[in-house]
Amino acid sequence: MKNIQIPKELFLDLCRHHLADIRSPEQDQRIQQGLQDKLDAVRRRSDYHRQKRDTHEHDKKDI
């Protein structure tokens, strides 16, 4: 399993929300947006690597 890094502020918001039970609508929005941004970045990276791998495999077949 690979690790994923998140910004420190997102981590702190998550800790406040889940561990300290401190919640606000603004914090909920920051958490949701931060997680969505990270998910989008992970998907883009995965798509890039899949495309790169597929291109490399296609090039090997041509040789």
pLDDT, one tens digit per residue, over 27-58 is 999 999 999 999 999 999 999 999 988 887 77
Residue 62's pLDDT band (cuts 50, 70, 90): low
What number of CA atoms fall less than 13 Å from residue 5's CA on the CB side?
2
For the chain, the structural domain boundaries read: 6-58
Tell me which residue has tokens 């406040």: 16
